[in-house]
Amino acid sequence: MTQIAIYDSTLRDGAQAQGISYSVEDKLKIVERLDALGVSYIEAGNPGSNPKDLEFFARVSTLKLQNARIIAFGATRKVGVRVADDANVKSLLKAGTSAIAIFGKSWDYQVLEILRATLDENLAMIGDTVRYLKQQGKEVVFDAEHFFDGWKANADYARQTLAAAVAAGADSLCLCDTNGGSFPDEIYEITRAVYQCFPAAAIGIHCHNDSEMAVANSIRAVQAGATQVQGTINGLGERCGNANLCSIIPNLQLKLGFKCIPDAAMSHLTAVARAVSEIANLPLNEKAPYVGGHAFAHKGGMHIDAVVKNPVSYEHIDPDRVGNSRRVLMSEVAGRSTLLARINAIDPTLSKDSPETRKIMERLKELEHAGYQFEAAESSFDLVVRKMLGRYTPFFELVEFKVITNEPAVNDVNSSVIIKVRVGDQEVLTVAEGDGPVNALDRAARKALERLYPAIGEIRLTDYKVRVLDSDKASAARVRVLIESTDQQENWTTIGVSTDIINASWQALVDSIEYKLLRDREKQQ
């Protein structure tokens, strides 16, 4: 199998996405995850751009990486500046990485109108910078910025920029669809032409997703001869993002027979996608192919029946291969056999004709009619089934809580909660403040219970959604609250419905805590 070097830019291009600001600790955690996944290169940032990146490069050099090489990223020397005197080039060397990526202009328009240099000067800048870094013993990746637009405008000049890098000793040439506007057939034809023009060079591809073609374009470039693919985990990046490695890697390796990462690491792909999303403090796109929560989720009864008989009927791969799992969604349209399978996970003795099974199914329909949506909150569904089967003992009971809200807020605190809970024959009364009543309620519940159940300290709420169900009733409308939680090992979602948003939030919060405690207890048995 042809080896494809996976070149990850989550820490550099991904950091340019709106809403992302990695700390040094964040970047180090992501490096460890990517190295364990088996990527070949980790482009970690521009050491000349800010002090935080300089600190990162100093600390990352102490990690013992098994698979990846860290790459510092920067530009060619500036116009009219000797390469040895260029501040950016000096910072690249100061980073101390064995490999460096240098980007240079390959579109004549960019050279003349943006860089304000002559075409010959740009070629000299590319050659000087690559040659100087090679003299310092570095592996050099030349990123040909705006290459595809440049080729379409002036193919001869775009080719000259690559030739300048090759003549100076560049180890690989990465063709960049910087504006993200090219189509797969264009990418294939141009990459193939470059491959034939520079047969001894390693060719890379770097695509942006402005036309939602980045994954397809990257794959077509590989089919045209590219052996290095640049991208980011979850497609993070500026504007519409970069090519999504979480789709590219399994497409190339599982579908087309290329070798991207170790086979054993493929099953960690979903975990890496979720970890990076958590670290970046962004919700994972649950509709993402391969790694999203919806990627192997089935709801329609006929679909589910077919998948139970043979998963290939509605699944293009076994989800285990990428570390994901099949989800059979709980809803009134799921079908009796689907619900029975979920019920049997709790009580395997029940059949589809058991009175208990019929009661659970009727209760499910009643709850969904009232606004509950268990396809998005399977953890709450499990608790409903356990309660109806008498297989559930609450870990605690609410006696009462009082919510006090004050405006304006002071130091981001505008609510306080007094809560009393009962655990066995012991009552606990506590008070907490928060940024809003739900935040205060969450803090108060933790404060009251964590001493008795330390595992609650592992829970972190990752998402909170509210939907008004019957807006025609205005302020008396029912609301549905979904709370997504994690303990870094597992993610789960719980639900509450009420005409009172605080009460609905409390229902979902209680289910979240009790589901965690129940799962931990079962693991210990």
Measured CA distances, 447 to 319, 417, 457, 496 (Å): 39, 11, 9, 21
Answer yes or no: is pLDDT of 420 > 70: yes
The position carrying tokens 């910072």 is: 91
Topology match between the domains 5-279 and 397-524: no
The position carrying tokens 């530009």 is: 75
pLDDT, averaged across the chain = 89
User: Taken in order 498, 500, 501, 507, is the CA torsion positive or negative?
Assistant: negative
Name the least confident of 100-114, 231-245, 300-314, 328-342: 328-342
pLDDT of residue 376: 64
- The beta strand positions in 187-322, using DSSP E, are 202-207, 228-231, 297-298
The position carrying tokens 């029940």 is: 350
Name the least confident of 84-98, 126-140, 320-334, 344-358: 320-334
pLDDT of residue 368: 75
Domain 397-524: what homologous superfamily? Alpha-isopropylmalate synthase LeuA, regulatory domain (3.30.160.270)
- What tens digit of pLDDT does each residue of 149-160 get? 999 999 999 999
- What tens digit of pLDDT does each residue of 369-401 get? 787 777 667 788 888 888 888 888 889 999 999
How far apart are alpha carbons 53 and 282 in whole angstroms?
A: 21
pLDDT of residue 335: 52
Strand order in the sheet with 426-434: 397-410, 413-423, 426-434
Answer yes or no: is pLDDT of 233 > 80: yes
In the chain, where the domains are located: 5-279, 397-524
Q: Which residue type occupies 452?
A: L
- What tens digit of pLDDT does each residue of 456-505 get? 989 988 888 888 876 666 666 788 888 888 887 788 889 999 988 899 99
CB-side exposure of 138: number of CA atoms within 13 Å? 28
Tokens representing 261?
A: 């990462």
Tokens representing 265?
A: 């690491």
Answer yes or no: is pLDDT of 205 > 90: yes
The pTM of this model reads 0.72
User: Taken in order 89, 92, 98, 100, is the CA torsion positive or negative?
Assistant: negative
pLDDT of residue 245: 98
| CB contact at 8 A, 485 and 464 | no
User: CA angle 326-6-317, nearest 5°?
Assistant: 20
Task: Find the mean pLDDT for residues 312-323.
Answer: 86
Binned at pLDDT 50, 70 and 90, residue 11 comes out as very high
| CB contact at 8 A, 240 and 209 | yes
Q: Across 42-46, 221-225, 482-486, 491-495, which has the greatest mean pLDDT?
A: 221-225
Answer yes or no: is pLDDT of 47 > 70: yes
Strand partners, 99: 71, 139
Q: 300-309: buried (b, 16+ CB within 10 Å) or exposed (e) per residue?
A: bbebbbbbbe
Based on DSSP, count helices (H) and strands (E) in the chain, helices before strands.
16, 16
Name the least confident of 94-98, 117-121, 381-385: 381-385
Task: Find the mean pLDDT for residues 188-204.
Answer: 97
pLDDT of residue 475: 61
Q: Which of 100, 176, 179 is nearest to 137 (CA)?
A: 100
Task: Find the mean pLDDT for residues 128-151.
Answer: 98
pLDDT of residue 12: 94
Q: Which of 206, 237, 277 is nearest to 10 (CA)?
A: 237
- What tens digit of pLDDT does each residue of 69-91 get? 999 999 999 999 999 999 999 99
Structurally, what CATH architecture does the domain formed by 5-279 represent?
Answer: Alpha-Beta Barrel (3.20)
Measured CA distances, 125 to 48, 111, 451 (Å): 18, 11, 64
| CB contact at 8 A, 266 and 273 | no
Name the least confident of 188-192, 356-360, 429-433: 356-360
Q: Which of 302, 304, 244, 314 is nearest to 273 (CA)?
A: 244
Q: Count of CB atoms within 10 A of residue 478's CB?
A: 18
How far apart are alpha carbons 425 and 422 in whole angstroms?
A: 7
Is residue 108 within a helix (H) or strand (E), and if so which, with residue range?
Answer: helix 108-109
Answer yes or no: is pLDDT of 311 > 90: no
The larger pLDDT score, comparing residue 306 to residue 517, is at 517
Residues near 353 by Cβ (< 8 Å), separated by ≥ 6? Answer: none
Residues near 152 by Cβ (< 8 Å), separated by ≥ 6? Answer: 186, 190
Measured CA distances, 150 to 132, 179, 462 (Å): 25, 11, 43
Binned at pLDDT 50, 70 and 90, residue 261 comes out as very high
pLDDT of residue 336: 59
pLDDT of residue 305: 63
Answer yes or no: is pLDDT of 298 > 80: no
Answer yes or no: is pLDDT of 342 > 90: no
Listed as own residue / partner, the contacts of 406-410 with beta carbons closer than 8 Å and 24 or more positions apart are 409/435
How far apart are alpha carbons 334 and 332 in whole angstroms?
A: 6
